[in-house]
Amino acid sequence: MLLPLFHISVVSFYVYSLWYDQQYLDLPLPAKGYEVMPYKGRLMFLTMWTFILQTIYFFVSFLNDLIGSNDASPKKRPLIRMFKDALFGLAFPMAIYVGISFWSIYHFDKELIFPEKIAKIFPPWLNHTYHSFIVLFIVLELIFTNKTYLSRKVGLVLAFTYFVSYLVWMHILFERTGVWPYPIFNVLNLPARLVFFAVSIAGGLYLYIVGEKLNSFVSTSCKKKVDVKQKRR
């Protein structure tokens, strides 16, 4: 009963956050070309890609609570459970990456990632929703739910494709508008940007493996506790 409540609560909170963003916030955009984009231009940010991905994940998790299976090792995983597990493999590293990269750059130089002109009109609670709560909720999901990762090769290809898709999208936006979505890229020359992109992709793939390892550790620990309880009986 607690898992469905947790999942639907997260979905409701995320949907409300997105609604509030779209209803009340008009952020200054880097260039006019961004105004025609959906969600008031928010799709130029990796943060929004990741936020929407996680919203979809928790909604699918809620559906899995109702019609799928949360067993540790079901004999036959329902399709909804397989989809949920695959989404988690992508949602976890992306949330951790967004959280780490945003707050690291924020504390180094706020203007490079969250300029004051935006910070003045952007509610702190919504900033934490996009950059902090996504980390908290996905970590809780890792700890308290059962999931089966895809093969590492498939999972890494999926994560790599996600990262590259965003990089391609970001370059398309730059070609159309002449302005990068994130101010940090305006101060980096080409070699520095290439290094940044390479490190970001490598970091994201590493976080995928970290998620896989942590999931294995949590699953093994839970199994041992269950075995100990059964022996005591």
How far, CA to CA in Å, does 98 sit from each of 31, 60, 129, 200, 228? 23, 21, 12, 10, 38
Q: Is the pTM of this model over 0.85?
A: yes
Q: What is the pLDDT of residue 230?
A: 43
pLDDT tens per residue, range 191-208: 999 999 999 999 999 999
Each residue of 107-131: pLDDT tens digit? Answer: 999 999 999 999 999 999 999 999 9
Taking only the tens place, the pLDDT of each residue in 55-74 is 999 999 999 999 999 998 88
Q: What is the pLDDT of residue 222?
A: 62
- Output the CA torsion sign for 182, 183, 189, 195: negative
Judge whether 170 and 98 are in contact, CB under 8 Å.
Answer: no
Under DSSP, the state recorded for 186 is G
In 3D space, the residue among 19, 16, 98, 23 whose CA is nearest the CA of residue 53 turns out to be 98
| pLDDT tens, residue by residue, 14-66 | 999 999 999 999 998 888 878 778 888 899 999 999 999 999 999 999 999 99
